Amino acid sequence: METIQAKVSKRLLSKADRLFTGTLDGRIIEILQNARRAGATEVTITNERGLVTVRDNGRGIDDFAKLLDLGDSDWDQAMEEAEDPAGVGIFCLAPRKLTICSNGKKIVITKDGWTGKPVELTEVGDSGKGTVLTFADEPWELSQVKRHAVFSGMKVIVDGKTCPQEPFVSSRAALYPELGCRIEVRGRDHLNQWHNQWRGSYFCDTVMVNFHGQVIKSTYKPVTEDLVFLVDMTGDPTGIRMMLPARTQLIENKAFKALKAAIEKEAYRFIQKRGSHALPYEEYKRAAELGIKLPEAEPTYDVGTLSGDTPEPIGVTMPKDFPLSKCYQIGQRLLDEDESCDANIHLLAALGQFKEPFVPVSISRIYDGYSWAKLPTVDKVEVKLGKELRQDYLWTQVLVAVQSIKITAHTSGGKVFESGVAMAVLTPEVTERPWGGSDRVYVTPEAREQLSTSDIWYHLGGWSEDGDTYETQEYQVEEQLEAFWSSIIGPGEYLRSKISGSVEGIKGSWDKVTIDTDRTVVITYKDGSEKTLKSPYIARKES
């Protein structure tokens, strides 16, 4: 029987320098990692005339052959189980000329040496403890080395200056011996500057694994809250593996699944310790399944049944200390049947007058299940309109002025809230839509004084992203509204309100304001004094 067998081709050697991305960060990581694996507690880096020298106080190199053996390592069994060395790291320096002194021996690896040409090993007598590497590179500046040194557990000195050393996690971290790591949960804004400089994406990098100084990021969000999970490898045997050779990504193996399960538990424990939360009901139940009893989520709701911010709908207020249990939600059936029920319930609450408060609220469906999220409902809404005064296509809907509007809301508790209001919205049945799919926004003449442009604009479609700036569009709506009102209130009242509107700018208590054909304004104050305001043009002509 013919057999074949997997093997490593020598051709790979000639491409070994491309196993790495060729970045300076990558080289710093690999060389610091080797020093640490050799048991070094201190690494000294010096930059001099285009050469970088890295000296460690580790146990030194026993077998130089292993160094240049692509894929082989000479660390002990414990290292094998904890760190899974790949035996390729030193090739990040290929094809540079590299001199290594260790344990009284020295080699100089040149271009060909990296791809298989025999390299001479010379005796140098006493070379001191540890290993010294010298190679040509751009300067290894402190600013770039320190992020790789800070969590490495070693003292690293660059051109005489010591890099900061910090623990990756605090004493609050929970130990997971079977995974060879400790896990600490933090709020996304509770990381220090060293964690943050490793974080690429503020939103995605939710898991940060400190692999002895090198931080590998991953995305896992077991709960709906902005948490970051710090995983600090202890150096004990672990099944957690990273993609080789650069270790920039976690491998999705069995241990990774176990890590995710541990992270999920820690997330809920973190929230349990803190006490309060706003988690969806599903996650509250999941915590219970994991044996972690949480309190119910803090009541989370918006007052009113409309939302949006370009522009905002008119505000609904909740009296101080008013209990949520006395508020109303829109009943599901009503929501399904009546397209404009949310607008009319909101407008009734915002504009109506009641003996006892009518406060509708909106609660996200994710909270369904919590005891506080079950409220009495509004099950029916009626809108009664007075005589129509005028209608016009305005902005993107139809604006209709009517003599009066009354909205009535029937609730599950049998209570009825009814009031006259200045605005309501109706979505016509498809068959009776003379203006296409537009809503009809109804206003009474009082709306002109009572409501702001944006209160009405909200229901007319609001700001359009495809058009002008917000202010410009708002101004356009205002103009159109003015024209609309002028025809309802009559030209006399329109003129009166225009002129009288401008006296609001006068300070002090005045008695009378006159204006003559020259546009000269005379203000007579209550104390008898007078102020004359002439147009500058007229004033110049007179002098």
Ligand X SMILES: Nc1ncnc2c1ncn2[C@@H]1O[C@H](COP(=O)(O)OP(=O)(O)OP(=O)(O)O)[C@@H](O)[C@H]1O
What are the residues whose beta carbons fall under 8 Å from the beta carbon of 236, sequence distance 6 or more? 82, 177, 180
- Nearest-approach distance from CB 38 to ligand X, in angstroms: 3
Inter-CA distances, 299 with 308, 317, 371, Å: 21, 17, 10
**In whole angstroms, what is the distance from residue 148 CA to residue 369 CA?**
47
Nearest to 138 by CA among 40, 206, 33, 52: 52
Q: Which of residues 235-254 bind ligand X (CB under 6 A)?
A: 245
Q: What is the CB neighbour count within 10 angstroms for residue 344? A: 25
**In whole angstroms, what is the distance from residue 276 CA to residue 292 CA?**
14
Whether the CB-CB separation of 68 and 93 falls below 8 Å is answered with no
103 counts as binding ligand X under rule CB under 6 A: no
The site that binds Mg ion (CB under 5 A) totals a number of residues, namely 2
**Residue 67 contact partner, candidates ligand X, Mg ion, none, CB within 5 to 8 A by sort of partner:** ligand X
89 counts as binding ligand X under rule CB under 6 A: yes
> Closest residue (Cβ) to ligand X?
89
- Nearest-approach distance from CB 36 to Mg ion, in angstroms: 9
- Out of 42, 74, 159, 392, which residue is the one contacting ligand X (CB under 6 A)? 74
Comparing CB distances to Mg ion, the nearer of 17 and 392 is 17
Q: Which of residues 309-328 bind ligand X (CB under 6 A)?
A: none
75 counts as binding ligand X under rule CB under 6 A: yes
Helix axes 470-489, 491-501, angle to 10 degrees: 130
Report whether the peptide linkage leading into residue 245 is cis, meaning its omega lies within 30 degrees of zero.
yes
Comparing CB distances to Mg ion, the nearer of 216 and 378 is 216
- Out of 28, 88, 209, 383, which residue is the one contacting ligand X (CB under 6 A)? 88
34 counts as binding Mg ion under rule CB under 5 A: yes
57 counts as binding Mg ion under rule CB under 5 A: no
| Beta strand spans in 246-374 (E) | 302-303, 329-330, 361-362
- Nearest-approach distance from CB 92 to Mg ion, in angstroms: 9
58 counts as binding Mg ion under rule CB under 5 A: no
The site that binds ligand X (CB under 6 A) totals a number of residues, namely 22
- Nearest-approach distance from CB 73 to ligand X, in angstroms: 3
From 81-89, 106-114, 152-160, 263-271, span contacting Mg ion (CB under 5 A): 81-89
From 34-42, 95-103, 454-462, 502-510, span contacting Mg ion (CB under 5 A): 34-42
Q: Which two tokens stand for residue 438?
A: 């537009």
**In whole angstroms, what is the distance from residue 32 CA to residue 389 CA?**
82
Burial of 105 (0-12, 13-18, 19+ CB in 10 A): middle
67 counts as binding ligand X under rule CB under 6 A: yes
Backbone phi, then psi, for 449, in 5-degree steps?
A: -90, -35
188 counts as binding ligand X under rule CB under 6 A: no
214 counts as binding Mg ion under rule CB under 5 A: no
462 counts as binding ligand X under rule CB under 6 A: no
- Out of 26, 58, 89, 313, which residue is the one contacting Mg ion (CB under 5 A)? 89
Whether the CB-CB separation of 295 and 276 falls below 8 Å is answered with yes
What are the residues whose beta carbons fall under 8 Å from the beta carbon of 341, sequence distance 6 or more? 330, 334, 335, 378, 381
Burial of 170 (0-12, 13-18, 19+ CB in 10 A): exposed
56 counts as binding ligand X under rule CB under 6 A: yes
Whether the CB-CB separation of 222 and 263 falls below 8 Å is answered with yes
**Residue 131 contact partner, candidates ligand X, Mg ion, none, CB within 5 to 8 A by sort of partner:** ligand X
131 counts as binding ligand X under rule CB under 6 A: yes
- Nearest-approach distance from CB 61 to ligand X, in angstroms: 4
From 69-77, 220-228, 342-350, 373-381, span contacting ligand X (CB under 6 A): 69-77
Q: What is the CB neighbour count within 10 angstroms for residue 468? A: 12
**CA-based Rg of the chain, rounded to a whole angstrom?**
38
**Residue 87 contact partner, candidates Mg ion, ligand X, none, CB within 5 to 8 A by sort of partner:** ligand X
Q: Give the footprint of ligand X on this chain (CB under 6 A).
A: 30, 34-35, 37-38, 56, 58, 60-61, 66-67, 73-75, 85-90, 131, 245
Q: Give the footprint of Mg ion on this chain (CB under 5 A).
A: 34, 89
